[in-house]
Structure formats: structure tokens, C-alpha cells
Amino acid sequence: MSCSLSLKNYGILNSSNYCQLSPDELQNIVIQNEMGIETKSGVLAIKTGFFTGRSPEDRFIVKDSITENTIWWDEKFNQSFDAKKFDNLYQKVVNYLSGKTLYVRDGYLCSDPRYQLNIRSISEYPWSDLFIHNLFFRIPKIRKILPDWLLLCAPGFQANPVTDGTRKKNFSILNFLKKIVLIGGSGYTGEIKKSIFSVLNFILPTYKNVFPMHCSANVGIRQKDTALFFGLSGTGKTTISNDENRKLIGDDEHGWTRDNIVFNFEGGCYAKILGISKEKEPMIYQSIKKGAMLENVVFKKKTQEVDYFNDSITQNIRISYPIYFVKNIEKKLLSSNIRNIFFLTYDAFGVLPPIAKLNKAQSAYYFLLGYTSKVAGTELNIKKPQATFSSCFGAPFMPLHPVQYTNMLIEKLDKTEINVWMVNTGLISGGDSLGGSRIKLKDTRKLVESAIDGYLSKAPYEKDPIFNFKIPKYCPGISSEILNPKRTWKDKKMYQIQVKNLVKKFIKHFDRYRKYTDEKITFGEPQIR
């Protein structure tokens, strides 16, 4: 049903506007316009076009009186954008959208009402609007909000890099002075999600003293203990935090308040589902139902049944769904009593242990570096795991200096009694080039469960001579052979070479931050002996 809302004040003229459409209405429009297919189980499946992953090098921030001296300007991620060129590009986008059928939605972010951010989105495609419905908190029809920010999503518009100031034809631009997110040239819905995440990662620490985190979170049913899981896409945040024995707070983005409340930024989940099965990931699997949206999946031949093991389009096949699709959620989507933090790392070298306990300095050091490996498909042109460093486990969407976020973590650890663990969800028994195998999901789940239950805090440890973190010698249900990665390597000399190579990478990467840090971080650095 169309609405009478005028978009003239945004510069959009003569458009036909649909406001706050339901998932069923949007799904019908997508199918009628041949923009998607309904699967055998009634779920909408769409293809995002050329872009099947984020393009972080095409994310820009307008340099103005708010951002000039606060953003950590970085050539790779936090690239500056000229204010006048933004105005010109904005005008081109609204001219492009004028006269079109558009989809308008008012929603909000942050489950803690003290930090609620209201968003009005205007989308060119109906399935972009469905994604926003699923991921943002939904506004009841009887309630009206005044939008704090505007999100314009125009996948069909392509910029001219020469005249518009972009790197390529696609772009995602944040304007903090005008409170506008401008997205064009890419249909990948993750650009919407991460642009808004970047906005909150600036606003919350700068104005609200809230520590923003790229992590999932869950809470124990009996003890009400909260666990946080940091990590980049593909390392297991969504999978591991979806635990049938605990209640989910959220799968990707959270804030940690000054009074030690952890709250979800989002009203939905965006899960990577390549190879998903009911047995391995039951909570996500049961969320594949009407109202959700599948991206870039392939159907079994001559059927409308999805082949979740087919990565011929991309390894980054995904599903978005409202968080209430998950049966055992924490209803308020917030919690206190933070007891355990897990840094999830995909180690492509196969030298980090499946789990290790970190002291405070090590926690700060590894959080600042955010070592992992880029997993195939999550970003454009990533075909196999590549060792990388992503500060705070989310560099592409952290606008402030990484040490600023790290100091917020240190402050939290200094004031609370929290166990911090590094968990390698990647390779053991050798690295990617040496035939290493990925640690089994059931083993990772068991190790995390044992850490949360307190067993690993009481277990005997051995100290790694180079990394200096503590490795448990025993865990019930887990072969002791895999707890220390050295024992899984046949060639012990090659293992030592790989360890030293990785440590050298740590030290080299940390050098860019060294002048901004003190012993609260530097004492966590590994030492080559």
C-alpha cells in the first residue's frame, strides 16, 4: 500500500512511496517484479548482483567540523570525502531516485532505550527494505518517531569517479554533520548494516561513553552470566553464540555501557550459511523460514530447493532474519554480569591453540591487533584465507583511533573480574599451505562451554614460551593432543618457523601503534627467543 509521505524535503520529487510494508508485501513485490525467487519452503531468495561482499575501500567519511580532528583518517578504511563533492553526489542520487517507486521505513537501533538512534531509510529496491526491516528494530504502527539519521540506498546508481570523488562506481559515504548515509552502486546488503554500525561506533564512544563492539553475546539461563564473542565474519561469532543452552542477546554488534550493561545494536541477524545443517547450527537453521531473506544461494537442479553447499556464486551466502525468529533470545536484548570474553581467530598458519587464557595486557594487545585471516567470500576477491590484522576485530567500521577503543576495553577489564580467552576456530595440524585441517566445530563448542562453566579456569595450564599465554592441559571431551598445536605438527621444525613468522607479523603490525601505547598493552607482546 502506497503512503502519502512526501520526500521533497530530501530533494526527491515525484516518487511513488511505499512506507513500512510488511515482509509478506515486500516479498510479493520482489517476486512480481522478477527480482527474486520464493524457495520451496517459502523463503525469499535474491541475488545482490556484482557485489556479493563488502567493499571496505569504497567506504568514505565526509571531513567536516565534527570529524576533522576526531576520525582516525586511514587511507584503507577511514578515507576522507570532500563536503562539496558529497553535496553534489547527494543531489545526483536524489535526482536519480526522483520519479521512481521507493520504499521508506522508519526504524531504530540500540535495545537500550537510553541510546536509541532513529533511522529513516529510503531504498530503491524492495528487498533492500526487507533487509532493513529484518535488521533494524521495528516501529509499531501506532508509534511515530522523528528520524535522527537518513539512509539513502540506491544500488542502481553508479558514480563517476573522475567527477564525483569516489574510488570506483560504488560507494558508501557517512556524513556526520548532516547525519546522512549515502549508498550507491552496490546491492550487497552488508553495506547497509556496516555503514550504520560505523555511525554508532563514532557516536557512542564520542558522546555517550559507551564501548562499541564487533561481537556477539549470549547469557546463561541460570547464572545470568554474559559472554562476548569478538571476531570478523567467518570466524564463528554467530554460530558459536547461538547456543541452545544459553539465551542470545545478539549475533554481531553491541555496546557496553558505563554501568556495565551490554546491549544489542540490532533487531535481527545476518548469518553466513554456507554448508549449514540442522545438526551443526540448529538455531540458525530453524530461522530459515518465510520472512527471512536469502542472498546469493543456488538451487538444486530443476527445483526451488536451496543447495547450501553450492558456492558457485559466492562463499558468502547469507540469510537475514528478525531476531525474534530465534527461539531462545534474551527478550530485552541486553544483559549485565559480563564474565567471559572470547577473541575468535581464524589462524591460517595453524600455530595458535584452540583456546588460550589471556592476562589483561595480552587481552589489550590482541584486541588492538585483531589478528585473524580473511575468509573466502566475505570481501570482494578473497578466494582463500589470508592472514591479516583488523584492529578491534572490526577495522573497516571503526572510525576512531584503534587505541581509543582498546583503552575502553582496558578500563572495563580493570574494573571487573572477567576471563579473556583466545579461541582459534581456524587451522590445526599445519597451516593452509601445509595441509592443515580446520578444528571441528563440536570441539570449539566444548572448549567454549568449559570456559564458561569455569572448568578451564581451574584446569592445569602450560605457558607458551613465545606467546606467554596459558594453554589448558586438559578439557573433558577433548583430545589433549589438539590443545597444544605443537603436538599436532609432524614437522616440529616447520612449526617453530611458522610460529616465529607469525610473531614477526605481530611485532611489525604493532609498530604502527607503539607510540600511542604504554605497558598496559605492550606487556602483552609475544617475544621471539
Please identify every residue annotated as catalytic: 54, 194, 214, 233, 237-238, 252, 318
DSSP calls for 234-286: TSSHHHHH--TTEEEEESSEEEE-TTS-EEES-SEEEEE-TT--TTT-HHHHT
| CA Rg value for the chain | 23
Crossing angle between the packed helical segments 126-135 and 23-32, to the nearest 10 degrees: 160
CA distances from 484 to 55, 428, 432, 445 (A): 36, 10, 18, 17
Nearest CA to 444 among 235, 252, 284? 235
Whole-angstrom Cα distance, residue 310 to residue 332? 36
Which three cell numbers, joined as nine digits, stand for 494?
616447520
- Give the span between the Cα atoms of 306 and 324, in whole angstroms: 23
Q: Name, in order, each residue with C-beta under 8 angstroms of 257's C-beta and a sequence gap of 6 or more.
A: 112, 114, 115, 209, 210, 211, 263
**β-pair type (318-322, 293-295):** antiparallel
For 237-248, what is the HEC assignment?
HHHHHCCCCEEE
- By the 10 Å C-beta count (0-12 exposed, 13-18 middle, 19+ buried), 298 is classed as middle
- Dist. CA 472–CA 502, nearest whole Å: 21
Which residue in 336, 344, 295 sits closest to 319, CA to CA?
A: 295
Running DSSP on this structure, what letter comes out for residue 204?
I
Report the alpha-carbon distance of residue 529 to residue 524 in Å, rounded: 15
CA distances to 106, 183, 186, 434 from 155, rounded to whole Å, are 19, 7, 5, 41
Could you tell me the CA-to-CA distances from 400 to 213, 394, 498, 511 in Å, in that order? Answer: 13, 12, 33, 18
Residues 6+ apart with CB under 8 A from 119: 106, 107, 108, 109, 136, 147, 148, 149, 150, 151, 196
Cβ atoms of residues 250 and 332 within 8 Å? no
Residue with cell 511513488: 16
The grid coordinates of residue 87 equal 553535496
